[in-house]
Amino acid sequence: MTGYGIGDVASVELSDSEQELLDTIGADSIQSSLMAEAIISVSETDEVLGPISKISAHKDAGSYHRAFSVLLFDSKNRLLLQRRASDKVTFPGVWANSCCSHPLHSENELIENNALGVKNAAIRKLEQELGISPETLSTNDFHFITKMRYSARMNETWIEREIDHILVAQADVEIKANPNEVSEIAWVSYEELEDLLLEEEPKNGSIAPWFRCIAARIMTEDWWGAIGNASALAEIADDKIHDMGDVTHMLPEAVGAGLNISVLEVKPLVEQRIMSSLMSSRHERLASAMTHLIHGGGKRLRATLPWLVGKAVGDSHSGMLDVGAAIETVHNFTLVHDDIMDDDDIRRGRNAVHIEFDLPTAINAGDAMLAIAFERLVQAEGLEAEDVAALVNRIAWMVRRVSEGQQMDIEFEDELAVSEDDYIEMIEGKTAVMFLTCAEIGARMAGADQDTIDCMADWGLAVGLCFQLMDDLIDVLSDSDVLGKPAGSDVAQGKRTLMVIHALAQPDSDDKTTLLAALGKGDEADAEAIEAALQALGNLGSIEYAKQRAVEYHAKAHACLDRIPQGPAMRALRELTDFQLKRIS
């Protein structure tokens, strides 16, 4: 290890776009080389998935990777802190623990027995960052204490998503800090660190979110008392992965990501949960039918919403992803049955489940998906036993409200005299209640107060109502290729959308007659008749009226967000509020 050089480690060749990004932000040649290092991609449970470049693991949505945090104490029981250099690509200028970096995807640093791989990596990085000679420390000097999982975003482009292995060592060392890595160092006592953590406005740089998690949430006073005592440190050690969730809000200057990147951060994790639950069926055909729509893709807005809301109003954790997976499974169950009831052959550009398989299998698959959703729900991580019953009850209420909304939708097709209030009640059950429930549960699981929970429920309801109004409009204003189903199918099926309700309330006219000629005629209404009916909706002012109502709910949703403290995660919720409206603006 002596004479460590950047070129001595495993690396991944950067793409032209990655190198261009580094050039754009002014990264020097050393930091650019470091971003090409081959680090270890891992699952949520720290299972090795393979090599990944450092830049890929930290850019945009990022990816979970293995890391380590060294807490180095001297013989006076003072903890070494370092301030990251301004040249660092990620989190420059923040104060952190003694050394924090990544083991490489190499034979020497992949060793898991006795955490030897991360200890080897720690020795390598202590030399590279702080000039601490490898002859001063050996792997025997390091004590593995625990792991933690967290996400922390610096800005739209850069994020940390780590399974962090926490190591403790004690030694009096000579430090020759590398100015490209470290701008300052400080040795602090227990009391001095407490004072730093409690500073409301840091006088000399912010504290890195991961170190704040370690120092404030995991590291107790017992740790300090155990320094230098191998037996005492062994008693403190555990085999847990402490779930910190997203801790971006711990960095005062952090800038949150937009909706797309925020969803992509956790979408794969939610989809893994959905697929593992649905594929657990012992019957292959049933499992295939249940996963058919999941394979068709989707935005997964409902699935990720508890997490997005939770990190905006409180403390996020992986249990929110379990709940999101359960609600997304419920949503897909309703889609399977909706396509049967609506006689729709196409969903998300592919055959509906009852077309791809058969009608009895589709019905059975939907029933099984509902049961599996509740199985996933009660197994959610981070839930206290006493909270499970209330959560199950709330999701059950949601399913009942969705069914009631669907029944109203069915019955409306045979009624001409459907009022606007009836329609709002119907879409509240059929669509908006899922958004309400996701937002409400996300806030509750994050530990928010009741006013905030109620506010986020109101936001979810307003967003959901806006979404359904916009979905109805998109069915009228988009072509079949965009929709993934025939344009104007709602009119052909006789759906009592707000546009149709408004149009039927107008005085008799040629346009109203044209609409009635296609409304509810199903296959009897050819493409020309449907196109004429859609034109009639525009002529009657019904499309513009529906747009106005959607804008009203959009404004109400933003007013709800205005009542919540504005943190970095709020950006994604703002963009979600705008999402559907922008599709036809």
345-356 residue pLDDT tens: 988 889 999 999
Question: Quick check: 180 pLDDT over 60?
Answer: yes
**Is residue 276 pLDDT above 90, yes or no?**
yes
| Cα gap 101→128, rounded to integer Å | 11
Identify the CATH class of 6-250. Answer: alpha beta
Tracing tokens 């991961």 back to the chain, one arrives at 210
Residue type at position 545: Y
- Identify the CATH homologous superfamily for domain 259-579: Farnesyl Diphosphate Synthase (1.10.600.10)
Give the integer Cα–Cα distance in Å for 315 and 307: 10
For the segment 243-247, the average pLDDT, to the nearest whole number, is: 97
Q: How does 417-448 read in b/e, with b if 16+ C-beta sit within 10 Å?
A: ebeeeebbebbbbbbbbbbbbbbbbbbbbbeb
Q: How confident is the model at residue 9 (pLDDT cuts 50, 70, 90)?
A: confident
Write the DSSP assignment of 53-101 as a string of letters. Answer: EHHHHHBTT---EEEEEEEEE-TT-PEEEEEEPTT-SSSTT-EE-SEEE
- Percent of the chain past pLDDT 70, that is, above it, reads 97
Burial (Cβ within 10 Å: 0-12, 13-18, ≥19) of residue 456 = buried
Kindly report the average pLDDT of the chain as a whole number: 93
Looking at the whole model, is its pTM more than 0.85?
yes
Of 66, 70, 62, nearest in space to 44 by CA = 66
Confidence of residue 584 (pLDDT cuts 50, 70, 90): low
Confidence of residue 106 (pLDDT cuts 50, 70, 90): very high
Per-residue pLDDT band for 479 (boundaries 50, 70, 90) equals: low
Specify the residue for token string 């660190």: 193
**Token representation of residue 378:** 């009660």
Read out DSSP for 97-114?
-SEEE--BSSGGG---GG
Distance of alpha carbon 508 from alpha carbon 541, whole angstroms: 14
Q: What is the DSSP letter of 9?
A: S
DSSP state, residue 288: H
pLDDT number for residue 582? 80
**Would you say residue 4 has pLDDT above 50?**
no
Confidence of residue 494 (pLDDT cuts 50, 70, 90): confident
Mean pLDDT value across residues 380-403: 93
Q: How far apart are CA 439 and CA 429, in angstroms?
A: 15
Question: Tens digit of pLDDT for each residue in 283-331?
Answer: 999 999 999 999 998 889 999 999 999 999 999 999 999 999 999 999 9
As a whole number, mean pLDDT of residues 517-522 equals 90
Distance between CA atoms of 311 and 300, rounded to whole angstroms?
A: 17
The pLDDT of residue 211: 98
Per-residue pLDDT tens for 73-101?
Answer: 999 999 999 999 998 999 999 999 999 99
Model confidence pLDDT, tens digit, residues 141-158: 999 999 999 999 999 999
Q: Look at strands 38-42 and 79-84 and give their pairing.
A: unpaired
Backbone angles phi, psi at 167, to 5 degrees: -120, 145
For residues 392 and 376, the answer to whether their CB atoms sit within 8 Å is: no
Whether residue 175 contacts residue 131, with contact meaning beta carbons closer than 8 Å, is answered with yes
What is the pLDDT at residue 535? 94
Contact assessment for residue 166 and residue 69, using Cβ atoms and an 8 Å cutoff:
yes
Name the pairing type of β-strands 241-246 and 143-153.
parallel
Model confidence at 480, in pLDDT bands (50, 70, 90)? very low
Domain borders along the chain are 6-250, 259-579
Nearest partner of 145 among 81, 69, 216, judged by Cα: 69
For the cut 50, the answer to whether the pLDDT of residue 534 exceeds it is yes
